[in-house]
Structure 1
């Protein structure tokens, strides 16, 4: 069977913050476009709170929501009671669609669980420090190396400048 990579996709402030009060603490139009391009057609795994902050399934992707509630039903989404079960659903979907990545899109607890399993990180570093209640786990430079980097000034629809990096797991 062909390898299917697990990829964490996130926007992270300089102090690790990714969320505040159930929402992102910034607006980054250029990053939304990149996110859409990276994730289109691929299975997505997110926690229930992240799904609720989005409010609807993302189009053109299989949306898999992780919740401890085994009775949770969300129209247009698959649900799983653990990251392990969500990954099994995502792998099946990726094989059926012929794609080679599963995208993990938050929140903090899902990222924390998935980091040890990840093959790649696609991180938009938001060049600011903000208060928040959800953080991304620390990226250990002994385990991850930057393979690609792109700096972007704040555009018309961006609150802050960013630096997009693709991290590959050190082998």
Structure 2
């Protein structure tokens, strides 16, 4: 199963200057829990935004750069190739950024979205989720608190 996992604001903002524009520790924990032990597909800029590769995950980086070969990663030139090299029958997570989500949407079976209830200025955006193609099957509202500056909702979509 191909699963896109993201946190996006009400205006679909993902981040600015290759960084998130909010801090939601519980969302980081959820991301780690869902993606650990799986293949994760990302773009080069998303990979480079990490201080180091994420533990207990197989990193597949999509890049058009010739000779791009970060240690411990599989580098491919297309979303189709990234998916092709993943094990059949296992969950594979597309983790961003904006361009990679647009490329991955047609391949995806499921979306795990954290909807941050605020609008942000950004330079990377999550694609629009077309309700004719996707059905929301789970929604869990999380109110802001002393560690989370914004209300947010975990939403699970499946392709119709």
Q: The TM-score by the shorter chain falls in which range?
A: over 0.9
* Aligned-partner Cα distance in 1 for 2:56–2:145: 26
* Aligned-partner Cα distance in 1 for 2:45–2:148: 24
Q: Deviations over 1:6-36 (max 9, x none)?
A: 1000000000100111101000100000000
Is structure 2 residue 15 aligned with structure 1 residue 19?
A: yes
Find the residue that maps to 1:36 and give its secondary structure: helix
Q: CA deviation at 1:131?
A: 0.4
Q: CA deviation at 1:155?
A: 3.5
* Aligned-partner Cα distance in 2 for 1:149–1:132: 25
* Aligned-partner Cα distance in 2 for 1:52–1:166: 27
Whether the 8 Å CA contact 1:146–1:166 is kept in 2: the answer is: yes
State how many pairs are aligned: 160
The counterpart of 2:126, out of the listed 128, 133, 136, is: 136
RMSD: 1.1
**2:65 corresponds to which residue?**
69
More helix by share: 1
**1:114 corresponds to which residue?**
104
Is structure 2 residue 24 aligned with structure 1 residue 57?
A: no
Which 4+ residue blocks in structure 1 deviate beyond 6 angstroms? none
The counterpart of 2:3, out of the listed 7, 13, 17, is: 7
The counterpart of 1:48, out of the listed 44, 50, 72, is: 44
CA pair 100-155 structure 1, distance change in 2 beyond 3 A:
farther
Q: TM-score w.r.t. structure 1 length?
A: 0.90
Find the residue that maps to 1:54 and give its secondary structure: coil
**2:135 corresponds to which residue?**
145
* Aligned-partner Cα distance in 2 for 1:79–1:55: 18
**2:153 corresponds to which residue?**
163
Q: CA deviation at 1:157?
A: 2.4
Q: CA deviation at 1:60?
A: 0.4
Structure 1: runs of 5 or more not aligned: none
Q: CA deviation at 1:86?
A: 1.2
